[in-house]
Amino acid sequence: MRNNLCVTADINFELQTLDMKRNDVSKEQIAELFATLNRRLENSNGQPKYKWEDVEDKLQNNPDKIWSLYKMEETGGEPNIIGYDIKSKEYIFCDCSTESPKGRRSLCYDDAALNSRKENKPKGSALGMANEMGIELLVEEQYFELQELGDFDMKTSSWVLTDSEIRNKGGALFGDSRYGRTFIYHNGAESYYAARGFRGILRV
């Protein structure tokens, strides 16, 4: 098993590979992120399904994914592995914070909705921020699958990826968990609330 010293020794490679826009993460921050992900993986439902060494090797070969994971963690998402795609041989990370990530709330659905507001505009949009972070919003099916792993969004809600038919009519979808059940609702895409953020998926 590789220890934190080995992880730190490899950080120079990662920093050299990251593009100039994404060089705001230090080697110490990456080492801390790796330690957090490793610990979270080991504590997932008892015996971990995935070996950290294998996950780390994938991350070493995909430094942009490290930056995305760092941003997921920095904004309160608490990312963890929720699955593995056998066909694409990719680990699937998802925001697993109990409530919608604190650093991604008060956002309307997308940039079109943001630009449509004449006043009281929020700081950004869920889709816009997700794109900047290099992650994708959960679709409805993924949101329901996440809720099967635990209790999420019991006091908050999270935007989910909305199909064009609904979006073209001005709406967008979000989900939450209440009364022991998972719900998907609709709202105007330009709306935003202090208790609504978004959860992301990242494939590595």
Query: What are the Cα distances from residue 32, in Å, to 5, 23, 61, 195?
Result: 11, 16, 18, 28
* Domain ranges for the chain: 4-74, 102-203
Identify the band that residue 43 occupies on the pLDDT scale cut at 50, 70 and 90: confident
pLDDT at 19 over 50: no
For strand 181-188 and strand 171-178, is the pairing parallel, antiparallel, or unpaired? antiparallel
Could you confirm whether domain 102-203 is CATH 2.60.40? no
Measured distance CA(67)–CA(59) in Å, rounded: 10
Cβ atoms of residues 174 and 184 within 8 Å:
yes
Place of tokens 């780390």: 56
Cβ atoms of residues 78 and 95 within 8 Å:
yes
18 vs 44: which has the higher pLDDT: 44
Q: What is the pLDDT of residue 124?
A: 97
